[in-house]
Structure 1
């Protein structure tokens, strides 16, 4: 009975004030009961908000189901002219999503705020029925000296807009296959022979057993809660990389470990952050090269 009444009221909101609320309002007017009228107004507002929220997530779900991965059209080249990888620019993302946003009654806008060393962008996605959701992203300003200060701010702002919009809409980009490029091979030093440690027979069970247990634990995938927390730590760690070479080497070093430990959805989130960070660091390097040329 309760479920039936809810369905009737929510569907009525779509075309106007629910009949039940109107009937109660007539009684309240006849009795001149202001208290009941105030409660009815609040009830109507809550019903309208509930209905608008349902329509928002229905539209967002349909939008995500129909949208294909955004293609990466921007090429980043090596010094010899060969293509290192491609990435999706902010314009690529907007061009891909705009038709479907209009189709499903969705829109977005940004609000920005600045402090001494960072920029924060709020991406607000709104449905035509009035409900909206906000996703925030904060990017630090490094002031590396390779770009003018205004370029540092512009790069961080573009990066924050791209990433906050992608998070808000749940966007995915087509994965590039040439992330690892050996540009600066590191000369390997001769390996030091392992030190010989003599262990008495009675000590072996106490020393070897904990090592075996640790290795076994490392082979197991983390629980969803632990995986989510670990993914946040990884993203914070990746954000400390200051250039594309640090990112490439760090990713190559930890890729297998992170993929084995994280839940698939958490690993996908880390990959998305890595891709966007790679674009930002590449843009920073390109801006720096242009300044050097001048």
Structure 2
């Protein structure tokens, strides 16, 4: 009986120690992430693309990486991607890790980008790059400069019910990850989206349509 009791006590102590370590690692992760985000500047939109006949500007993955990597490293943070293709969807998972062991991740899925004259491999590659960019931004809560919406950025008005329904219908139509969109804009629900960001959200979703 004594040996059994000792073994049970040892297991409890080990479990308590592991939970304590995990808690401390999570606290260190959150502290490091907050410190890094405070130092990361607004990302410059250095590329222009077209959605139909409408031009829009965005920051490419290389610009994001160039900006954030040194800052993350100074705070003991790193990132990596996992990806897979299931049926007609490409999925990317972005994992943010801290040197003390805690990590968090988010994922986003989309169809291969068949716009232009891309072959099947290029279509998947284009979708992967887009999803890596979006999941990394969502994981870190990054903001990008937005010349088009700059004048309206100070407005506190929210989108209308009709605009919210338009976004929800589009999310369902293209199979987008609604939670990733909410994370990107740092809102709890689609109806909480500022009116000044509606065009940006619509453009982001429309850019994932397969032509």
- TM-score with structure 2 setting the length: 0.71
Q: How does 1:42-191 map to 2 (within 5 A)?
A: 42-76=15-49, 84-141=55-112, 143=114, 146-177=117-148
Partner of 2:177: none
Partner of 1:211: none
> What is the Cα deviation at residue 263 of structure 1?
2.6
Q: In 2, distance between residues paired with 1:143 and 1:176?
A: 28
Q: Is the 8 A contact 1:163 1:276 kept in 2?
A: no
Partner of 2:192: 263
What CA deviation, in whole Å up to 9, does each residue of 1:166-216 have, x standing for no partner?
A: 11111111003289xxxxxxxxxxxxxxxxxxxxxxxxxxxxxxxxxxxxx
> What is the Cα deviation at residue 104 of structure 1?
0.8
Q: In 2, distance between residues paired with 1:132 and 1:266?
A: 33
> What is the Cα deviation at residue 95 of structure 1?
0.4
> What is the Cα deviation at residue 221 of structure 1?
5.8
What CA deviation, in whole Å up to 9, does each residue of 1:83-124 have, x standing for no partner?
A: x55321000000010111011111010111102211000101
- Larger RCO: 1 or 2 (CA < 8 Å, sep 6+): 2
**RMSD (CA atoms):** 3.7
Query: Structure 1: which 5+ runs fail to align?
Result: 1-27, 78-83, 180-219, 242-260, 286-294
- TM-score with structure 1 setting the length: 0.53
Q: In 2, distance between residues paired with 1:158 and 1:67?
A: 21
Partner of 1:237: 170
Change (3 A) 1:145 1:115: farther
Select the residue among 34, 40, 50 that pairs with 2:13: 40
> What is the Cα deviation at residue 42 of structure 1?
0.5
Between Structure 1 and Structure 2, the one with more strand by share is 2
Q: Is the 8 A contact 2:32 2:75 kept in 1?
A: yes
> Which is greater in Rg?
1
Q: Is the 8 A contact 1:72 1:174 kept in 2?
A: yes
Q: Is the 8 A contact 1:155 1:280 kept in 2?
A: no
Q: In 1, distance between residues paired with 2:165 and 2:97?
A: 27
Between Structure 1 and Structure 2, the one with more helix by share is 1
Equivalent position SS for 1:122: strand
Q: In 1, distance between residues paired with 2:33 and 2:111?
A: 30
Change (3 A) 1:142 1:157: closer
Query: Structure 2: which 5+ runs fail to align?
Result: 151-156, 175-189
Q: In 1, distance between residues paired with 2:29 and 2:194?
A: 23
> What is the Cα deviation at residue 125 of structure 1?
0.3
